[in-house]
Structure formats: C-alpha cells, structure tokens
Amino acid sequence: MIGDETIAAISTPIGEGGIGIVRLSGSSAVEITETIFRPASGLLLSEVNSHTLHYGHIVSGGQRVDEVLVTVMHGPRTYTREDIVEINCHGGIVATRAVLDLVLRGGARLAERGEFTKRAFLNGRIALDQAKAVADLVSAKTRLGLEVAIDQLGGRFSQAIGVLRGEIAELLARIEVEIDYPDLDPETAELLPAMDDLAAQVARLIAQGEQGRVVREGLTIAIIGRPNVGKSTLLNALLAEERAIVTAIPGTTRDTVEEEAVIEGIPVRLIDTAGLRTPTDPVEKEGVKRAEDAILRADLLLLVLDRSARITVEDRELLARDWERPCVLVLNKSDLPRQLDPIANLPGKALHEISAREKNGIVQLTGAILELLLGGELPARNTILLLDAWERDLLRRTHAALTQAQQAVRAGLSADMVAEELRAAHIIAGELQGVDASEEVLDRLFARFCVGK
C-alpha cells in the first residue's frame, strides 16, 4: 500500500452528458461518502456488501444536491487494490463539481493526473507496461491503435522482459559459478549461442517498438515538388476529399496545408507544400521556407513530377538532392500523354506512376508508403509494442550491453568482464519491468493520463 490518503476526482469528461462520475480511492473512501450520502434503503455504506450499487441522494446542510447511484467496492478486488467508491451523478458541470467539492471538504484530496492507475501499479495490481497501456487505450486514434493497446494491457511486454531477464540471470549464474571456483577454466565461449539468442530477442522487441511508435504517434508525409505538378490534387486524392485548392495556375499553394488521414489503421499527417523553386515575391519566398520546414518534420517525402511535361532544371535539382529521409518518386498525370524523359529508379527512391485527378495508382502508392515505413506489410496487432521513448532507449541500451558481452567473449576477455556486461543488461531490463524505476520516470509516465484515470 502507498499511504492512507484518500484521493478523489471526476472520472468522466467535463461537460453536459448523461452521467458524471466522482471516484474516490483510499482507506476513507466509504467513510467520506457516508457523510454526504443518504441511501433510500437506510443502510449505512459501511455495512453493505462489496461491489454493490445503492440509490439515494447527496446532501449538504440538509439540502439535496443531486440524485445519485453509489457503487461500493472494497479492496483488494478493485482497480487500485484500495477501497473505491464511485458516485454516479447526473451529467453536467454543476452537479459533478458540487459533489466533488463535498467529497474534498470531507477529507479527500484531489487526485493528480493518472494517480488511480499509479496506485494500481504501486500496489502491484498491474505492471508498468500495463499501466502505460491504459493511457494508450484512452488516447488511441485508430482501431489498430486501440487493438494493440488492449493486447498490451494483458502485460505482453512485461512478460517478454521477465523471460529475457530470467535468461540473462541464468547466464550470469553459470559465469559466476566458474568465477567462484578459480581452479576451473571458465569456458565463456560456450555461452555465445545463448547470448546471440538474447540479443536477437531484444532486436525483435526494438523493431516491434518502432512499429508501435508509428501506430501511436502516426507518420508525417510531405508532398513536395516544383509548382503545378499536382501536389494539391494528390493531397485531395489521399484524403478522398477536396481539401486543397486546385487550379492550373502555377504557385496556387503559397502556404502548407496539413490534414489528418488514416492509412490501413496508421494515423498520417499529410502536408501539401508550396512549389519548390526560386521565389519571385516575398509571399512565395515565405511559402518555400515553410515547405522546407515541413520537409524537416516529415518521416517520408512524396516527390511529385509532372509525367505529361518535359523534365525541367528544377526537377533535376530536386531529384539530385539528398533528402536524408525515405523518398517516393511520384510521376503524376498518367492519364495524359507522356512527355517526361524516362527516369531510372534512383537509389533510395521508389517510383510510382499515378493520376491524382483520376485517382489511378493511389492504392499502390499508399501500399508503398507502408512498405517503406513499416518494413513490409502491416504487422499483426499482437506483434506491435506501444513503447515510450525511454523504453525504446532502455531496449537499445540492453542490446548494447549484450553486444558488449558477446564481444568480450569473442575477444577472449576474462569471465569477470563478460559478467559485468551481463549484469548491466540485467539491471537495464529490470528498469523496463518497473523494478527500481525512478520517481521521475513514473511522474513522466503518469503525467500522460487525465485526472480521474
């Protein structure tokens, strides 16, 4: 348990609605509620069975504040493993705030962001990755994101790390036995296959975490090219709606146009940019600058050329440029006679011919986007991990420590040196499980939650 303080918060969105819930958790949750609740049955809340619902009124100074249903749940069979009371009020700001104020005056403290879930973690009901999955579940932007969060709520990641950490501990035990008996000649080379397997396991988790980053955070795709090649038409085709203004006048787009879309369950931010060329006026100059800024933010570029026109100097400059990120070469206007010189598939640039106006080739183009950014077809939901930046960093550090241990063995270094690297990997993997996780890490994690969760 983490203390005797009872916390309370409104656990439903603030605003008008059918219901508003004030939640309390802690040793005094029932006692505090009892002072303001008048049940129709006449029974005291301290005398009722756990996990039961009771009708009555919230009162203050002899006056009825709201007609409510009160749920009583005794720990440890609760979300936080503490006593929990949920007061189901009529929806609306005034009623729920009035009830919350009475609860706080009765001795409860206003909960911090994510404090209910934090107590569930600290009281041992859920692992750290399960706690984080709760926030991912609430903030999911797509069905795929929701499904992955539900999978992770089962503790899949913490279980994988637990197995990994156990295998590292077994290797350590074997080495330390040999160290404790110096008369034996340590044969650390025999451990290399097991180390290779552990490193491969971590590498797979890193790859799954990168896919999870895409599922959770989405992708940013910038559509670039010289003026009048069909960038805005392509944006509209990808969005399946007329969002950007399209004319035959070069340079119509003077600013970036940003819109959200979903491609195969992946949230995507599409950015239509101003034509990249030497600007002719201050407004166009600012548009080109914003286009360059969008390129720096993008995970992927769609470089659009006009297939129905001869290649220009501006086109060649764009083709020759090192964009330092994945780039798909899109030859637009395939519904018109071809005038563009044949272009070989340039290194690092997949090539696709489309007609944005007729929407020909758009499905193939979106498939190419997923191919580049996810390394193939969309992975199964149970192979994706929703990991924070610090978790991905800890995985990389675990992999680095295992790699150092492998190198120490191959270099013929002492068993002590090998064991030291394995200990480092074991400790870092423990942080991933939540073992000895710092208060700073926990605060940062639970700050993602809303108050009341």
What confidence tens digit (pLDDT) does each residue in 235-245 have? 888 887 555 44
Query: Residue 246's pLDDT is what?
Result: 43
Q: Residue 351 pLDDT more than 90? A: no
Beta bridge partners of 377: none
Beta bridge partners of 55: 69
Percent of the chain scored above 70 by pLDDT?
A: 84
Q: pLDDT: is 90 or 288 the higher one?
A: 90
Beta bridge partners of 57: 38, 67
Q: Residue 42, Cα to own-chain centre: how many angstroms? A: 48
Most confident of 120-124, 126-130, 341-345: 120-124
Q: Residue 314 pLDDT more than 50? A: yes
Report the 10 Å Cβ neighbour count for 436. Answer: 9
Question: Does domain 218-374 fall into CATH 3.40.50.300?
Answer: yes
Query: CA 114 → CA 8, 86, 100, 138, distances in Å?
Result: 12, 16, 17, 12
Question: Does domain 7-111 fall into CATH 3.30.1360.120?
Answer: yes
User: What's the mean pLDDT in 443-450?
Assistant: 71
- Are 327 and 303 in contact, with CB atoms under 8 Å apart? yes
d(CA 426, CA 117): 27
- Are 305 and 332 in contact, with CB atoms under 8 Å apart? yes
Which residues does 55 contact at the CB level (< 8 Å), separation at least 6?
39, 40, 41, 68, 69
Global pTM reads 0.60
CATH 3.40.50.300 location in the chain: 218-374
Query: Residue 34's pLDDT is what?
Result: 94
Query: Residue 1's pLDDT is what?
Result: 44
Cα angle, residue 233 at apex, residues 228 and 239 outer, rounded to 5°: 150
d(CA 127, CA 432): 10
Q: Which of the residue ranges 2-6, 269-273, 300-304 would you say has the lowest mean pLDDT?
A: 2-6
Topology given in CATH for the domain delimited by 156-213+388-446: Four Helix Bundle (Hemerythrin (Met), subunit A) (1.20.120)
Here the tokens at position 265 are 């369950």
User: What's the mean pLDDT in 209-213?
Assistant: 76
Average pLDDT, the chain: 81
Relative orientation angle of helices 439-446 and 128-139, to the nearest 10 degrees: 20
Percent of the chain scored above 90 by pLDDT?
A: 24
User: What's the mean pLDDT in 24-51?
Assistant: 93
CATH 3.30.1360.120 location in the chain: 7-111
d(CA 315, CA 228): 12
CATH 1.20.120.430 location in the chain: 156-213+388-446
Q: pLDDT: is 289 or 75 the higher one?
A: 75
Q: Which of the residue ranges 36-45, 138-147, 360-369, 384-393 would you say has the lowest mean pLDDT?
A: 138-147
User: What's the mean pLDDT in 114-143?
Assistant: 80
Which residues does 409 contact at the CB level (< 8 Å), separation at least 6?
188, 189, 191, 192, 195, 418
Q: Residue 200, Cα to own-chain centre: how many angstroms? A: 23
Cα angle, residue 33 at apex, residues 27 and 38 outer, rounded to 5°: 150
Query: Residue 231's pLDDT is what?
Result: 86
